[in-house]
Amino acid sequence: MQDSTPFQVQDLTPDMQKTQLIDMFTRIVVHYGLWFNEVQHQMGMEKALTALDTATQSSIAILMKHLSRTLGFELDQGMPKALMSLDDATTEKLMAAVGKSWLANDGVWFQAVEFAHGMNDAKRCNDSCWARFSPFEAHRIKNILGLGKHPGLEGLKKALNFRMYAFINKQSIVEETADGFVFQMNDCRVQRARMRKGLDDYPCKSGGLVEYARFAEGVDDRIETECIGCPPDPHPETWFCAWRFTLAQ
Domain ranges (residues) in the chain: 20-85, 88-249
Is there a contact between 226 and 244 (Cβ–Cβ < 8 Å)? yes
pLDDT value, residue 13: 85
Q: Tens digit of pLDDT for each residue in 196-249?
A: 999 999 999 999 999 999 999 999 999 999 999 999 999 999 999 999 999 987
d(CA 92, CA 56): 23
Is the pLDDT assigned to residue 1 strictly greater than 80? no
Cis peptide before 80 (omega within 30 of 0): no
Is there a contact between 182 and 243 (Cβ–Cβ < 8 Å)? yes
Q: Which of 194, 140, 147 is nearest to 164 (CA)?
A: 140
Q: Average of pLDDT values for 120-131?
A: 94
Indicate the CATH number for domain 88-249.
3.30.1380
pLDDT value, residue 10: 82
Q: DSSP of 125-184, one letter per residue?
A: HHHHHHHHHHHHHHHHHHHHHT--S--HHHHHHHHHTTSGGGGTSEEEEEEEETTEEEEE
pLDDT band at 56 (very low <50, low <70, confident <90, very high): very high
pLDDT value, residue 3: 66
The H or E element containing residue 78 is none
* Helices and strands (DSSP H and E) totals, the chain: 8, 6
Is there a contact between 221 and 199 (Cβ–Cβ < 8 Å)? no
Q: Average of pLDDT values for 93-108?
A: 95
For residue 249, the number of C-alpha atoms closer than 13 Å in the C-beta half-sphere is 3
Is there a contact between 200 and 151 (Cβ–Cβ < 8 Å)? no
Tallying the residues shown for the chain, one arrives at: 249
Q: Tens digit of pLDDT for each residue in 7-17?
A: 687 888 889 89
Cis peptide before 232 (omega within 30 of 0): yes
Is the pLDDT assigned to residue 6 strictly greater than 90? no
Q: Average of pLDDT values for 127-151?
A: 95
Is there a contact between 215 and 134 (Cβ–Cβ < 8 Å)? yes
d(CA 163, CA 151): 16
Amino acid symbol at 211:
E
Task: Tell me phi and psi for residue 221, to 5 degrees.
Answer: -70, 0
pLDDT value, residue 134: 96
Please report, rounded to a whole number, the percentage of residues in the chain having pLDDT higher than 90.
90
**Would the pTM of this model clear 0.75, i.e. be above it?**
yes
d(CA 143, CA 140): 5
d(CA 139, CA 127): 19
Is there a contact between 32 and 56 (Cβ–Cβ < 8 Å)? no
